Structure 1
Amino acid sequence: MNTKRISINEVNPNAYKPIYDLYNTIKNSSLTSTEFLLLQIRASQINGCAYCIQMHIKEAVEKGEKQYRIHALSVWRESPFFSNEEQIILEMTEQITNITISGLQDELYQKAITLFGKEKVSDIIMAICCINVWNRIGRATLLTPIPSQD
């Protein structure tokens, strides 16, 4: 049985400020909104954060993302629906989210630098770190997804 957990936003709203600042910086970075949403959904799937998965899928659909791509996201390697750029971002998302397995591999890092350049790679890394922070808060405090009113 899960016990009720604290709401960090209620207990210490200032604790969220630097995370919101990072989120807003990344949202307005070199990443497209599609790239940002895909990596947020994928990291949330890996981390098992139902709250974040629901929130970011809802946002992706509202922004016009295709359902078939969202459904294929957990098996993106076997899917023809993602561009080479998106595949590199998704692989970076998996390697950084699962950092203890092997870290961000040098071969992938070099591919990303060659394709995107240093600024965008920096934005990708920070976006992945940001969603991982939100996922950990969601999991630690047992945030519950809110059903869509659609």
Structure 2
Amino acid sequence: MQPRLDPFSTLPSAFEPMMAMEKFLASSGLEHSLVELLKMRASQINGCAYCLHMHATDARANGETENRLYLLDAWRESPLYTDRERAALAWCEALTLLPDGHAPDAVYEQFQALFSPEEQVKVTLVITNINAWNRIAVGFRALHPTD
């Protein structure tokens, strides 16, 4: 695979708002492990190797277990995830695969039951931002480090 363009060096100022959102979300009070799981799950769905590499590395550095990373694609079948993580992962899938179901009420009700209104907005912004990053990285064929 060959990269198409480096959008970050081509127009760095365009990414300042997205980076500001990342900074806000990092200090938002959401559990770091939850944020990384959401970023990983959306990146799995979107096939973004660059983001998968980045967020797996970040998650491991912050204490995430290999088993939870390996089993994330099958989170529904694994007891390794909390009810709160499950609700957020279902919400992540619903928003990432929006055309498939338009964020079903049942998924939102489960999400709403375990997250405060402010947390719902923050989680939704995590999902929104990673989906944007995925589209940029996949579209321009960003290459992950091969260390």
Tell me the TM-score normalised to structure 2 length.
0.95
3-state DSSP of counterpart to 1:31: coil
1:90-105 equivalence runs, <5 A: 90-105=89-104
Indicate the residue corresponding to 1:20 in structure 2: 19
Where in structure 2 are there 5+ consecutive unaligned residues? none
- The structural deviation recorded for 1:81 is 0.5
- The structural deviation recorded for 1:110 is 2.3
**CA deviation profile, 1:82-130 (whole Å, cap 9, x unmatched):** 0000000110110000011112111221222222110000001110000
Q: Distance in 2 between matches of 1:57 and 1:102?
A: 28
Q: Distance in 1 between matches of 2:2 and 2:113?
A: 48
Q: Distance in 1 between matches of 2:107 and 2:45?
A: 19
Letter in 2 for 1:104: A
Tell me the TM-score normalised to structure 1 length.
0.94
CA pair 137-110 structure 1, distance change in 2 beyond 3 A: same
Indicate the residue corresponding to 1:52 in structure 2: 51
1:1-150 equivalence runs, <5 A: 2=1, 4-148=3-147
RMSD between aligned alpha carbons? 1.1
Confirm or deny: 8 A CA contact 1:42 1:93 kept in the other structure: yes
Where in structure 1 are there 5+ consecutive unaligned residues? none
Consecutive aligned runs of 4 or more in structure 1 exceeding 4 Å deviation = none
Identity %: 32
Higher relative contact order (CA 8 A, sep 6+): 2
